[in-house]
Structure 1
Amino acid sequence: MGVGAIGGWMGALLGQAADIELSAVARGATLQTLQLNGLQLTDASGSRRVQVHAEADPARLGPQDLVIIAVKAPALEGVVSNIGPLLGADTLVMPAMNGVPWWFLHGRNDAWAGHALRSVDPHGRIAQAVPPPHVIGCVVHASCAMLAPAHVKHHFGQGLIVGEPNGTTTPRLQALVTRLTQAGFQTTLSTHIQKDIWFKLWGNMTVNPLSAMTGATTDLLLDDPLVREFMSSIMLEAKAIGARLGISIDQAPDDRHAITRKLGAFKSSMLQDAEAGRAVELDALVAAVLELGELTGVATPFARALMGLSRVHSQVHGLYPRALA
């Protein structure tokens, strides 16, 4: 579900396997192209197409072994409202998305176990549509772009980190890792997938909204000492929240900045969304962190300032709903 850059890349790799029947839920030009010409992937080795059974109505596809959800966070509630026909008793649902997922506190055995994150699932509809036993966590480390509807360009990175929300190594997880690796992904089995999600978020939650607000590439943000200091302050707040949740980050903000700076004049995904007039993922990247801060008793004045400024900017430009989060 979601045949954009990441979803298209993942689908194309899986679709090359002779024993995998690839299906997709799509609409508009993407649906038409998939039905006529299949899914096209262009990478360093060339360009190729894979056949896909694409439908607008999930009921025409029926239960699947694995459902990959690769949409932007603002679209998630609407997308999963139609997921029911795809779910069988043993169907795995693997969201391949940025930010804090709705199931982030599932699988815990403490006071926060199963807490519903209203910042990312305000009405509880996502959790209702995708019951926790179906979920497999996933972190994607790859860069892709859309060249045209159903035509994906893969730039770099093949990494997938996958894990059960409760940290166990189950037969279904091991089987999934095997299949993903066979398809060409560099797959890592995680026994603490929330830590992997939090670590990726730790860098994204500052660079993304600040770049969307300013129009600046990451090098310009990091080369300004005041902006860099602001980013570091937010990251320290997030690091403290993670520590309360048992998710340690063994890195200083400056270490992460150095890694990001090596990317050069890089446009974040949120900046690309803003430039294209698409809704931005503020709730999954920032609001969820504020909610977890309140839950764990960690003050987040810098992250709150980031959320407020980003929210107003996004509302003015029609990229975020006017109702306050």
Structure 2
Amino acid sequence: MPDRPLSICVVGPGAIGGTIAARLAAASGTGDIGRVSVVARGAHLAAIRDKGLRLVTPTEDVTVEVEAVSDPDNLPPQDIVITALKGHQIPPMAAALGRLLAPEGRMLPVVNGLPWWYPLPDGQGGFRGAEAVDPGGALWREVGPERAIGSIAYMGASVPEPGVISVEIEGYLDLGRLPGEDRSDVVRVAEMLRGAGWTVRETEPFQNSLFSKLFSNCAMNSVAAISQAAQKRIATDPVLSRMAAGIMEEVRALGLVEGAEIRMTSEKRLYHAANGPDHAPSTLQDLRAGKPLEIEPIFGATVALGAARGVPMPNLELATAMLRAIEEARGFA
């Protein structure tokens, strides 16, 4: 990356992306933070252009001006591109993202599931991304895994109206790379985000963070969407909790093969679900809102990785098949 303030574009300034964009825009011109822009659409785009991007948190209410476009080709190449989209929305943008990212730039794909840059054996002695999250290898080819920085968001936010981001649960970002890869860019980007007010972790090995997230998401999101029950019901129902725990242990076994340590037990995760806020996981939220479900990035890709590594995942495989059938019945398949 260049030795100057970095140009930054957030593609998908929704709940998570909008929070990132607003905080970066508020700090634009300080430290390593250069010009900040967003790629948005529809009413959200119109509101940001007309009134700015408003961020409401438990401790602040700020509105920032930020350049907003609908077409990434209307922006010059960017040093940092942060994608905060549903996993299935990213592959169709592969060529445009490749053009948007400067040759020495870095992409931060903030996703809920297995990221497109995570390497699977390609059967020919090399590696590729999971077909479920990178059909035809478009992102692997147009962007390249070497330019991606692992990015996971732990927070609770929503978009109550166009142009407005509401943060209900302050959280943190976790950035990293796989063992053996150069981390100098991770360190620089993490410091840049801290300068914008973020709490940033740099988990090593990054598999620990990635598979700990999958441990929860694969179980709670799938069972919630199938049963249409929020997490308290899942955690307190003996059959639903048994299915969720079974998926968690399958992900733990896969993580172990991938060199990840998941410290949370399934019992403790279900205890937190039973005794915390009655949260509806994102897949259930999408189902209730009539939106497509994020099946392949969270569930399908994890099942594919399990198959590639020889790790049986019968519970998650069954849940994934049921969710695909639900999507077909809803007309989204």
After TM superposition, the score normalised by the length of structure 1 is: 0.92
Q: 1:135, 1:165 within 8 Å by CA — same for their partners in 2? A: no
Q: Which moved more, 1:3-12 or 1:113-122?
A: 113-122
Question: What is the alpha-carbon distance in structure 2 between the residues aligned to residue 12 and residue 212 of structure 1?
Answer: 31
1:293 equivalent in alignment to 2:306: yes
Aligned-pair identity (%): 28
Secondary structure of the structure 2 residue equivalent to 1:22: strand
Alignment partner, residue 264 of structure 1: 277
Alignment partner, residue 279 of structure 1: 292
Alignment partner, residue 64 of structure 2: 50
How far 1:235 sits from its partner (Å)? 1.4
CA gap of 1:264–1:44, structure 2 versus 1, over 3 A, is closer
Q: 1:105, 1:112 within 8 Å by CA — same for their partners in 2? A: no
After TM superposition, list the pairs within 5 Å mapping 1:181-200 onto structure 2. 181-200=194-213
1:95 equivalent in alignment to 2:95: no
Q: Which runs of 5+ in 2 are unaligned?
A: 1-10
Alignment partner, residue 26 of structure 2: 16
Which among 260, 263, 266 is matched to residue 253 of structure 1?
A: 266
Deviations 1:170-208 (A, max 9, x none): 332211111111111110112322221111110111111
Alignment partner, residue 4 of structure 1: 14
- What is the one-letter code of the residue matched to 2:211? W
CA gap of 1:127–1:115, structure 2 versus 1, over 3 A, is closer
After TM superposition, the score normalised by the length of structure 2 is: 0.90
Alignment partner, residue 94 of structure 2: 80
Question: What is the alpha-carbon distance in structure 1 between the residues aligned to residue 264 and residue 98 of structure 2?
Answer: 41
Deviations 1:45-88 (A, max 9, x none): 23211111111222221111211000011211123331133211
Q: 2:207, 2:258 within 8 Å by CA — same for their partners in 1? A: no
- What is the one-letter code of the residue matched to 1:34? I
CA gap of 1:293–1:170, structure 2 versus 1, over 3 A, is closer
Question: What is the alpha-carbon distance in structure 1 between the residues aligned to residue 194 and residue 63 of structure 2?
Answer: 20
Question: What is the alpha-carbon distance in structure 2 between the residues aligned to residue 218 and residue 261 of structure 1?
Answer: 7
Alignment partner, residue 4 of structure 2: none
Q: 1:3, 1:150 within 8 Å by CA — same for their partners in 2? A: no
How far 1:94 sits from its partner (Å)? 0.0
Secondary structure of the structure 1 residue equivalent to 2:172: strand
Alignment partner, residue 224 of structure 1: 237
Deviations 1:188-245 (A, max 9, x none): 1123222211111101111112212222110011110111111111211111111112
Q: 1:169, 1:191 within 8 Å by CA — same for their partners in 2? A: no
Q: How many residues align?
A: 317
Question: What is the alpha-carbon distance in structure 2 between the residues aligned to residue 112 and residue 165 of structure 1?
Answer: 19
Alignment partner, residue 8 of structure 2: none
Secondary structure of the structure 1 residue equivalent to 2:200: strand
Q: 2:52, 2:65 within 8 Å by CA — same for their partners in 1? A: yes
Question: What is the alpha-carbon distance in structure 2 between the residues aligned to residue 200 and residue 26 of structure 1?
Answer: 26
After TM superposition, list the pairs within 5 Å mapping 1:74-223 onto structure 2. 74-105=88-119, 114-166=127-179, 168=181, 170-223=183-236
How far 1:291 sits from its partner (Å)? 0.9
CA gap of 1:98–1:192, structure 2 versus 1, over 3 A, is same
- What is the one-letter code of the residue matched to 1:295? A
Q: 1:22, 1:51 within 8 Å by CA — same for their partners in 2? A: no
CA gap of 1:253–1:98, structure 2 versus 1, over 3 A, is same
Q: 1:103, 1:114 within 8 Å by CA — same for their partners in 2? A: no
- What is the one-letter code of the residue matched to 1:129? E
Q: 1:167, 1:193 within 8 Å by CA — same for their partners in 2? A: no
Question: What is the alpha-carbon distance in structure 1 between the residues aligned to residue 101 and residue 142 of structure 2?
Answer: 10
Deviations 1:269-322 (A, max 9, x none): 11111111111111111111211111111112111111111221222123x41x
Q: Which moved more, 1:22-31 or 1:78-87?
A: 78-87
1:243 equivalent in alignment to 2:243: no
